[in-house]
Amino acid sequence: MDTPNWAQQLIKDNIDYLNSKGYTISFPDINWRKPTARRYNFSTDTETKIRRKCSSGICYKDHITICAGSDRKDCKLVILHEIAHWARPDGEHHSQSFWKLAWELYRRNKLPIRYCLNREKDYRKGAIKAYKGLNKGG
C-alpha cells in the first residue's frame, strides 16, 4: 500500500527540520499498512474485518513500518515517534534523548499534548519523565 501524501509530507517536513538542526538523516523507506482486526459474530457465524482506530509502528535500520489506524491524530503521533527513532543512533531506543526529541516533534507538529501523554504513558515511563523534565526547563 502506498504512503498517503499527507504522511509523506509530514515525514519530509520533519526530516528537513531535523537536518536543519544538525542531524544528517535521509528520508526513510516507508512500509505503509492498514491494520485490521477480526470480529466474530456468534449469532450469524460470520467473521468480519474491522479497521483499528490506533496506529502502530516500528523503525528498522533500513525502513519504517506504519500500521495506520483510522485516527489521523494517532497516526501522526506514531509517525513522529518512529521519526524520532530514525534520527537517534542504533541501540539507543527509548532513552531520555529519544523522548526529548519525540516531545519536540509532537509539539512542533501541534499534537494535543494531553493526548500524547495518555498515548505514551502506557508505552514507556521514560516518556512521562522526559515530558516533565522539559516543562521544568530541562
Q: Tell me the average pLDDT across 124-128.
A: 62
pLDDT one-digit tens code per residue, 51-77: 578 889 999 989 999 999 889 999 999
Kindly report the backbone phi and psi dihedral angles of residue 53, in degrees, each rounded to the nearest multiple of 5, phi listed first: -75, -45
Of the candidates 77, 91, 92, the one whose C-alpha atom is nearest the C-alpha of residue 68 is 77
Q: In angstroms, how far is the first alpha carbon of the chain from the final one?
A: 41
User: 3-state class of 103 per DSSP?
Assistant: helix
Pairing mode of beta strands 46-51, 36-41: antiparallel
Q: Hey, what's the cell of 93? A: 531506543
**CB count in 10 Å sphere of residue 77:** 24
pTM of the model: 0.80
Average pLDDT over the chain, rounded to whole?
85
pLDDT of residue 11: 97
Kindly report the backbone phi and psi dihedral angles of residue 8, in degrees, each rounded to the nearest multiple of 5, phi listed first: -60, -40
Torsion of CA 79, 7, 105, 22, to 10 degrees: 100
pLDDT one-digit tens code per residue, 42-51: 666 666 555 5
| 41: pLDDT strictly greater than 70 | no
Of all residues in the chain, the percent with pLDDT exceeding 70 is 76
Of all residues in the chain, the percent with pLDDT exceeding 90 is 55
State the Cα angle at 51 between 41 and 11, rounded to 5°.
Answer: 165
